[in-house]
Chains A and B, each alone.
Chain A
Amino acid sequence: MSNAHSSALRHHFANLDQQKDSSVLGMWTFIVQEILFFGGLFLVYTIYRHEYFDVFEACSHHLDWKLGAANTVVLIFSSLTMAMGVHAAALGQKKATAAWLVLTIVLGSIFLGVKVVEYTEKFEHHLVPGPHFLPPEEAAHELKIQPSQTGQAQLYFSLYFAMTGLHAIHMIIGIPIILYLAWRSWHGAYTPAYHTPVELTGLYWHFVDIVWIFLFPLLYLIGHH
């Protein structure tokens, strides 16, 4: 094993291979714990959707599925640009890597922007759970449910905000990291032999995108056939 890039080799590893294997396994382990983290919410969702299907279906119609679908496309493209970034890094094209990463950030930001529009709309229509939620009569009219089902509608919107909010937080954490990688890449920090940070962040980003792939149909498309 040549240690040509030994500046990237941390002191406690024998060689770059061992270092890279460790980092990749570490990232996968992290993703496993993320799956369990989101898993708790998906479980709560599953139970209440099963219990109160009608209400969930009615409330689901109140999300704008077109915005959701557009955002899904945006995120899939951001996964593509991320993958291109990793590919460019593996080839040692530092400027191309930076460009792909910046494009990923742009797409991620578009997604978050759309999310802001959607959240604002929920606030304006008093669909945020809590004391300011629509009173039962109005909720019944607005959401086409029984007045007595207002609490269950709040459950749906609680889940909507918790799940998409947690997902958005993961994106907000990812963006500055990708920005840092783009900057480092521009300055030539990554080589074909050592570009593990780009690869690992790519894994993370794909994971966050996949979470959305599940969230979109589960929240937006209940009852659409």
Chain B
Amino acid sequence: MSAVVAAREPQLPKEHYLNADYGVRSWLFTIDHKRIALLYLASVTFMFFLGGMYAAAIRLELVTPPGDMFSSETYNKLFTGHGVLMVFFFLIPTIPGVLGNFLIPLMIGAKDLAFPRINLLSWYCYMAGAGFVLYALVEGGLDTGWTFYTPYSTSFSNTNVILAGVGIFFAGFSSILTGLNFIVTIHKMRAPGLTWFRLPLFVWAHYATSLIQILGTPVIAVTILLVALERGFHFGFFDPARGGDPILFQHLFWFYSHPAVYIMILPAMGVISELVACFSRKKIFGYGFVAGSSLAIAVLGFLVWAHHMFVSGLSVYASLIFSAISFLVAIPSAIKVFNWTATLYRGSVSWQTPMLYAVGFIGLFVIGGLTGLFLAALGLDVHVTDTYFIVAHFHYVMVGSVVMAYMGGLHFWWPKITGRHYPEWWARVSAVIIFVGFNLTFFPQFILGYLGMPRRYHYYPDEFQVLNVMSSAGASILAVGYMIPMVYFAWSMRYGRIATANPWPATGLEWQTASPPPTENFAVTPTVDEEVYDYTRPPKEPTFV
């Protein structure tokens, strides 16, 4: 599988971050970014499967046209629970929390993030948030949708809005602290010689992501606070009876929640850049453009929020402007896709599992991105607003693309994280299953939505049944596809073939130390004297072990 024939069987290093200490305390009080990454891995995986169970219930209900499994009220709680868990506790934290945490210090040749204790604090904030939300769900759930639109959320819903709001507030604080830590780390902790334009694109992508986390998340935090004050203490910010404006809530909400999509997708794009370069054995085509497009997406992402509000009573002129800027986001996004494709051209491409995921990502992202253009177009958007077309679109981007990249990255860096290989055959099979299952689940939803099936209803006319059954069938395939890696990843931690320091082999400082790395990351402080993604030279032996 690996091109390099090892002269002797590779062995795990004697001491590494995983065996540096044992016991629950050594994990719960760790300030090692690599261990915190694994704490995140465990917790986001749990939330992902929990959110997945909500999705399973939704797809089961939608197999038949009448609402025969759940009441409308229960169904509302199901899609709300699914959305809240997946958006705030899986998609937003997952790649930065797991891969970013693990890799950024390694990639820049640092011993840790700039603020290790704040890093641990951010995981505890995440857990506190998760605790509140889980409590809200157990207490009887929440029925506002993950969007918490007022005045329903402030004045009418009889469910646990404040409890869930507090949970999201904590999760947001966790996200802010992560972003702050990454920004300072990337500015101040780079190894000697590692200039900005020698940074891996993964780091660039996380830098852009962190900017959004810092500039966007506080706004949703204060918005949730206002909703809580209105619900709990009868303040009147969004109450039309007192002259408050419920639409103002939507502006504030989407000012964060549109950029939040880029908190999910930018790190995913960073992962894909690493994978495409490594498995094409080529420098990324147009490195500067790919790096710059991350920043461009971060900036433009703040100027398009009202495209979620074309039917909320926005003025025509405002709509026109928001529509136009939304179209502009396609430019930096397309720059990335074209540059990845151009990197493949005349590369020596190999098809290990991470690359399968990378190509899958590009496919799903292109569909998700292009349908985004449909939605940026005013006339078409009015037709498909609040239909399954929207549901399909954002699942292609937020789930299809982000989870594909996350899985690809997890496979790619698994040997570095655990020191062992996952079983390649099983991994390829499940990558294909996920791709097929995903498309079968969500492509029919584009058609359903275009034909007019609204989202958030648990019953539908008979003529939509065939497409809904396809979608539910796809969801069960997808579930199998997600379950298989769970099993073989767990298996490989103990029984997987032992990996070398640089098994693929790939460029980047993280491959220049042992697998798994020592607690201090590098035995000697690395210095960098070569260009980024220099795949022209033969792979060198790890230098900083």
Complex contact B115–A26 (CB within 8 A): yes
Q: A residues within 8 A CB of B222?
A: 37-41
**Interface residue from A26, A47, A130 paired with B235 (Cβ < 8 Å):** A130
B125 nearest CB across to chain A (Å) = 14
Complex contact B236–A151 (CB within 8 A): yes
Complex contact B184–A155 (CB within 8 A): no
Task: Give the segment of A11-19, A65-73, A92-100 that binds chain B.
Answer: A11-19
A15 nearest CB across to chain B (Å) = 12
Complex contact A52–B234 (CB within 8 A): no
Complex contact A129–B189 (CB within 8 A): no
Type the 1/0 row for B221-232, where 1 means its CB is closer than 8 Å to any CB of A: 111011001100
B6 nearest CB across to chain A (Å) = 32
A110 at the A/B interface (Cβ < 8 Å)? no
Complex contact B215–A155 (CB within 8 A): no
Closest to B116 in A: A12
Q: B residues within 8 A CB of A36?
A: 214-216, 218-219
B39 at the A/B interface (Cβ < 8 Å)? no
Q: A residues within 8 A CB of B183?
A: 25, 29
B461 at the A/B interface (Cβ < 8 Å)? no
Complex contact A152–B188 (CB within 8 A): no
Complex contact B214–A33 (CB within 8 A): yes
Distance in angstroms between the alpha carbons of A151 and B243 in the assembled complex: 6
Complex contact A43–B184 (CB within 8 A): no
Complex contact A34–B218 (CB within 8 A): yes
Distance in angstroms between the alpha carbons of A21 and B188 in the assembled complex: 7
Q: A residues within 8 A CB of B216?
A: 36
Please judge, given known A-B contacts A22-B114, A25-B188, A40-B222, whether A32 and B235 are in contact too, CB under 8 Å: no
Complex contact A130–B214 (CB within 8 A): no
Please judge, given known A-B contacts A41-B222, A130-B235, whether A47 and B248 are in contact too, CB under 8 Å: yes
Complex contact A22–B218 (CB within 8 A): no
Number of interface residues of A (CB under 8 A): 39
Distance in angstroms between the alpha carbons of A188 and B114 in the assembled complex: 25
Q: A residues within 8 A CB of B110?
A: 12
Complex contact A155–B234 (CB within 8 A): no
B241 at the A/B interface (Cβ < 8 Å)? yes
Q: A residues within 8 A CB of B118?
A: 26
Complex contact B241–A151 (CB within 8 A): yes
B346 at the A/B interface (Cβ < 8 Å)? no
**Interface residue from B187, B223, B242, B520 paired with A151 (Cβ < 8 Å):** B242
Distance in angstroms between the alpha carbons of A52 and B245 in the assembled complex: 12
Instruction: Kindly identify, within residues 229 to 278 of chain B, every residue whose CB is under 8 Å from any CB belonging to chain A.
Output: 229-230, 233-237, 239, 241-245, 248, 252
Distance in angstroms between the alpha carbons of A29 and B210 in the assembled complex: 10
B356 at the A/B interface (Cβ < 8 Å)? no
Number of interface residues of B (CB under 8 A): 45
A149 nearest CB across to chain B (Å) = 8
Complex contact A26–B218 (CB within 8 A): no
B217 at the A/B interface (Cβ < 8 Å)? yes
B384 at the A/B interface (Cβ < 8 Å)? no
Q: B residues within 8 A CB of A154?
A: 235-236, 242
B534 nearest CB across to chain A (Å) = 26
Instruction: Kindly identify, within residues 72 to 98 of chain A, every residue whose CB is under 8 Å from any CB belonging to chain B.
Output: none
**Interface residue from B215, B223, B230 paired with A32 (Cβ < 8 Å):** B215
B185 nearest CB across to chain A (Å) = 8
**Interface residue from A18, A37, A39, A51 paired with B243 (Cβ < 8 Å):** A51
B398 at the A/B interface (Cβ < 8 Å)? no
Q: A residues within 8 A CB of B113?
A: 12
Complex contact A14–B525 (CB within 8 A): yes
Complex contact A162–B243 (CB within 8 A): no
Please judge, given known A-B contacts A25-B184, A44-B248, whether A37 and B218 are in contact too, CB under 8 Å: yes
Distance in angstroms between the alpha carbons of A12 and B119 in the assembled complex: 14
Distance in angstroms between the alpha carbons of A12 and B244 in the assembled complex: 50
Closest to B113 in A: A12
A161 at the A/B interface (Cβ < 8 Å)? yes
Please judge, given known A-B contacts A25-B188, A26-B114, whether A52 and B218 are in contact too, CB under 8 Å: no
B111 at the A/B interface (Cβ < 8 Å)? yes
Complex contact A12–B111 (CB within 8 A): yes
A199 nearest CB across to chain B (Å) = 16
Q: List 20 A-B contacts (CB under 8 A).
A: A12-B116, A14-B525, A22-B184, A26-B114, A26-B115, A29-B214, A36-B214, A36-B218, A36-B219, A37-B218, A44-B237, A47-B245, A52-B243, A129-B233, A129-B236, A130-B235, A151-B239, A155-B236, A155-B242, A155-B244
Footprint of B on A, CB under 8 Å?
10-12, 14, 18, 21-22, 25-26, 29-30, 32-34, 36-41, 43-44, 47-48, 51-52, 129-131, 150-152, 154-155, 158-159, 161-162, 166
Footprint of A on B, CB under 8 Å?
110-116, 118, 176, 180-181, 183-185, 187-189, 214-219, 221-223, 225-226, 229-230, 233-237, 239, 241-245, 248, 252, 520, 525
